[in-house]
Structure 1
Amino acid sequence: ATLRYEDKYYARHPGVNPIALARCAINLARFHRATAGGSTITMQVARLRFHLHTRTVPGKLEQILRALELERHYSKNEILEAYLNLAPYGRNIEGIGAASQIYFDKPAAQLSGPESVALSIIPQSPGRRALFTERDNRSVNLAQSNWYDRARVDTDLEFSPREFHPRMQTERKFLAPHFVEQVLESSQRQGEIITTVDLEKQQAIERRVADYVAINRHRGMENAAALLVDTRTMDVLAQVGSADFYRTDINGQVDGTRSARSPGSTLKPFVYALALEQGLIHPLSILADAPRSFGEYNPENFDREFLGPIRACDALARSRNVPAVELASHLAHPTLYEFLKNAAVPLPKPESFYGLALPLGGAEVSMQDLVRLYAALANDGELRPLRRTVNDPLAKSRRVLSPEAAFLTLEMLGNVPRPEMNCSDGSHSAPVYWKTGTSHGFRDAWSIAVFDHYVLAVWVGNFDGRANPAFVGRTAAAPLLFQIIDSLRSSWPEPNSPHLPPPGANLKRVEFCALSGDLPNAFCTYSVEGWFIPGVSAIKTCDVHREILVDVATGLRVPIDDGTRHLRREVYEFWPGEFLTLFDQAGVPRRMPPPFLPDNGSELASRAGQKPVIVSPNKKEIVLASVKTIPLRAKADGDVRKIFWFAGKQFVGKAAPN
């Protein structure tokens, strides 16, 4: 249709039509300017490709020379393909592929005869023949009639002119705009690109995000973003960069999934994963949620309170800051910084710049990087890049965590209670492994989840960085996260698969003392079952529960049985002094051992507990010269009353533990 309308001698001329050129030359002589009608398909490609001004004599001559040059270097089919890809089809529509999609909602290869005719006549007058108004359609129908009248002279037609109705440009939406923009920026592929986006999920999440922001706008929430990835292939199924791509007042065209922002506590799981991998803890290890000083850095918890002894799994589930920083201070090769760099997370500053604030959101990270990291937990510690086009092969994975550490970390995230929400479809029973984050200054609220075979991340905030006390991960982002998860799960017929250890993983499940988190001894009363990594996890026999000798008459402790008194054996709890202080502050009574009976031999005769451990200053801690005092703190057994401090052989002083 295009050749019949634009250049019916295309197959026979060398790039220019001599007869048409002669007609053009006569017009030049009469009117002193070039007129339309003399250009071949090849000449039009030259004009479009090299942006020539052909209404002047020099411009027309250059067009002819360029056309002859194109014919020498390219085949007729290649030149025709170039024309169809460059030709204007009204408004800002360029190329037959875009035109067929916009006007007829189908690929060019599927156009019918009348549809091909309709499109073939637009490039000659794209301003008057774009199919958007009734006037445009009248112009097209008139041109079509002329086309058919001429065509019937040469051949019998099997179709008749098509009647057109206006198709407004607004009827065709820019689908998944942030996703498409990123694909176009990064793709090197020419021609058709088949993407990974799941349009049904994309549009469902877009609606959820827009509705959630609209409902919560009175709380100062203007924007949100979400990203859904299939962990099996790393295919991006939905990418919602803002609440509304077309709203300039909220900077809707900014892609929140690519913006680097403070992640809050969303990096904490990787501190625990590294601590598990390096044998510092197992999930039931007891950590101290207590005041700590790391040089001049004094981290606090979100609620400004301390819980005292707390299991590692609970410390992560309740997002306690101090235990996370304490663990981060003991990580070595890799540290959290080294782990993130190895995972290709952009951190422009050296490790010393971020310090121990890194686990609490001290660096800016994008949602896309966070999703990659959480997908590594779901993929047994294997990290892979996100995938957006099905033309791309599945990327080779790279190990960043051991399978055991990845599994245990995900298990610990399964203990996080979901926010209070109404849910009628019963999806509360399905496992979700998730974490929240709140940036310093309440500028960003995060929530990220691994569920079934997917990772979903949600961010709530404002692109201008304005603070808002409502931007708390658990109350601002988590409700949207679970609305999306429940909506997705309601349409999935398949049952949720249980989270099982990876095949061949070096993991063992044993009984632990419920109080100390160590292997139970003969005196432990209650036990719980838990995982550990044989040969790696820090695991020992409980020494909190100990049996001692008590004088029946006085109720005081006796170090040894010398046969002179009536004694009985009783089990008491021996907690480090720092824990005792916290128990006292919380009003939690513990079964502490009684003091020793005076003048009954040396207390050292019964010393079988833990040796004192210095907790301040930390090992390898750098102290500035301007610091005038260095706090000395140590933890010791609960029955230790005094600790004596020495610098080398020089006595410094004595003080109570903690």
Structure 2
Amino acid sequence: MIDKFLSLKRWEKATLIIGFILMMGYAFSLPDPLFDASYSTLVSDRNGELLGARIASDGQWRFPPTDSIPDKYKTCLMAFEDRYFRYHPGVNPLSLGRAMVQNIKAGRVVSGGSTLTMQTVRLMRKNKRTYFEKFIEIILATRLELSYSKNRIIALYASHAPMGGNVVGIDAAAWRYFGHGARSLSWAESATLAVLPNSPSLMHFGRNRDALLTKRNRLLQKLLDNGTISETDYRLATAEPLPENPHSLPQIAPHLVTRLYLSQPGTHVQSTIDKSLQLQADNVLERWNTEFSQNHILNLAALIVDLEKNEVISYIGNVNFGKQQSGNQVDIIQSSRSTGSILKPFLYCAMLQEGALLPGELLPDIPINVGGFSPKNFSLQYDGAVHANEALARSLNVPSVVSLRRYGVPKFYDF
């Protein structure tokens, strides 16, 4: 092989070397990662329902990329942007030729002729539009098609397409504009998000409403004409109004969301939280907070654990997270503090398990002295004797110290 190469003429060697360099450059032309972008932090419950989110470091609502794109949105997007997306190799020569003719006739750029794959490359590169940049997009689009499936490419586009303001991608747009996840998008909502990246400035809650509505309904008419949707679907879709105001994202288990935002920024974390139970626990703590606040107890926390699965199913770090008063944004669960009375239920449990204590057993509640330490109850009063279960319910200190001496400190430490 080497002898054959050496026997070639100089221009033949140069051609082979240049060809090899170009092939290697083409093979490694895609950046890694494809998108140099920061992402919002998402936290969902055990069933995938969104609990909360934190904005990306660049101030954009850009959810982490996902491969799950709703069929309605894909249908609308391909009908609007690239109806031959499933068939071309990343570049559609007919579209490019038509765009060139239109631009020459108009004397300015009125059409780009870019496929969805080329637009995905443009979103990756974020460079100014020039003819040279268009040529680079063509090269990289064909390379992208060789490395990724059509569904993956359309998912990359949908996750990074500008949707107006500081909203990027279909998932963030679905929550901000319609108040629910992308998988629940209607035909009207899907059509709205499909036309937005073409003119993201149209998504302004104070102007451009008619222009956006016209583009959306024109796309819905196209879907009706090609038989994608029925007459009934078309009428229902065109009757849907555009969103009037941006929606706030869910604020469920906000202290947990904040904790995960600090430890795993820019990721989508599926937790073990049960959203339904979380909301019930929130309501319970709010009711108790109303009562306790009359005695100037302003902070409450709760952690509910499924002991069989060893999973946290409800996480309430504090109450009234959004009020920003009385330290309500402090996560009490994570805050360092003295163990204090938290150990009493564990001691009670350990002694019950070993039969060393019965719930109705009387424990002394009298002044005692243990090596110079004189424990006192919070009330500074003593009952003489009290049942073990009542001592736990009232969090009495003296009966707990007596129980600990009986059980043994080293033994309890290893429990």
TM-score range, shorter chain: 0.5 to 0.7
Per-residue CA deviations over 1:153-197 (Å, capped at 9, x if unaligned) read 76686344614435355655514242772797699xx99969652
Equivalent pair of 1:287/1:312 in contact (CA under 8 Å): no
How many residues align? The count is 331
Give distance in 2, aligned partners of 1:35 and 1:203: 52
Give distance in 1, aligned partners of 2:224 and 2:390: 82
Per-residue CA deviations over 1:109-143 (Å, capped at 9, x if unaligned) read 5544444322211222223236xx36353232121
Alpha-carbon distance, 1:79 to partner: 1.3
The amino acid across from 1:197 in the alignment is D
1:224 paired with 2:296, answer no
Equivalent pair of 2:188/2:220 in contact (CA under 8 Å): no
1:143 paired with 2:220, answer no
Alpha-carbon distance, 1:98 to partner: 4.7
Q: Which has the higher strand share?
A: 1
Equivalent pair of 2:253/2:278 in contact (CA under 8 Å): no
- 3-state DSSP class of the match of 2:300? strand
The structure that has the greater radius of gyration is 1
1:7 paired with 2:82, answer yes
Instruction: Choose from 321, 324, 336 the match for 2:397.
Output: 321
Instruction: Choose from 184, 191, 206 the match for 1:117.
Output: 191
Cα distance change on mapping 1:127 and 1:215 into 2, 3 Å? farther
Q: Which residue does the alignment assign to 2:92?
A: 17
Q: Which residue does the alignment assign to 2:149?
A: 75
The amino acid across from 1:245 in the alignment is F
Q: Which has the higher helix share?
A: 2
Alpha-carbon distance, 1:5 to partner: 0.8
Equivalent pair of 1:52/1:59 in contact (CA under 8 Å): no
Unaligned runs of 5+ in 2: 1-75
Cα distance change on mapping 1:222 and 1:306 into 2, 3 Å? closer
Equivalent pair of 1:301/1:321 in contact (CA under 8 Å): yes
Cα distance change on mapping 1:297 and 1:166 into 2, 3 Å? farther
RMSD of Structure 2 on Structure 1 (CA): 4.6
Alpha-carbon distance, 1:232 to partner: 6.6
Cα distance change on mapping 1:297 and 1:180 into 2, 3 Å? closer
Give distance in 2, aligned partners of 1:205 and 1:281: 31
Per-residue CA deviations over 1:580-610 (Å, capped at 9, x if unaligned) read xxxxxxxxxxxxxxxxxxxxxxxxxxxxxxx
TM-score of the two chains, using structure 2 as the length reference? 0.61
Per-residue CA deviations over 1:507-529 (Å, capped at 9, x if unaligned) read xxxxxxxxxxxxxxxxxxxxxxx
Q: Which residue does the alignment assign to 2:368?
A: 291
Unaligned runs of 5+ in 1: 340-658
Q: How does 1:242-257 map to 2 (within 5 A)?
A: 242-250=318-326, 252-257=328-333
Q: Which has the higher contact order (CA 8 A, sep 6+)?
A: 2
Q: How does 1:300-379 map to 2 (within 5 A)?
A: 300-308=376-384, 312-313=388-389, 315-329=391-405, 331-332=407-408, 335-339=411-415
The amino acid across from 1:81 in the alignment is A
- 3-state DSSP class of the match of 1:123? helix
Cα distance change on mapping 1:331 and 1:152 into 2, 3 Å? closer
Alpha-carbon distance, 1:4 to partner: 1.5
Cα distance change on mapping 1:269 and 1:217 into 2, 3 Å? closer
Q: How does 1:5-84 map to 2 (within 5 A)?
A: 5-21=80-96, 37-48=112-123, 50=124, 52-55=126-129, 60=134, 62-84=136-158
Cα distance change on mapping 1:180 and 1:327 into 2, 3 Å? closer
- 3-state DSSP class of the match of 1:135? coil
Per-residue CA deviations over 1:76-100 (Å, capped at 9, x if unaligned) read 1221233233333344444434544
Give distance in 1, aligned partners of 2:319 and 2:243: 27
- 3-state DSSP class of the match of 1:122? helix
TM-score of the two chains, using structure 1 as the length reference? 0.41
Q: Which residue does the alignment assign to 2:243?
A: 167
Give distance in 2, aligned partners of 1:152 and 1:313: 70
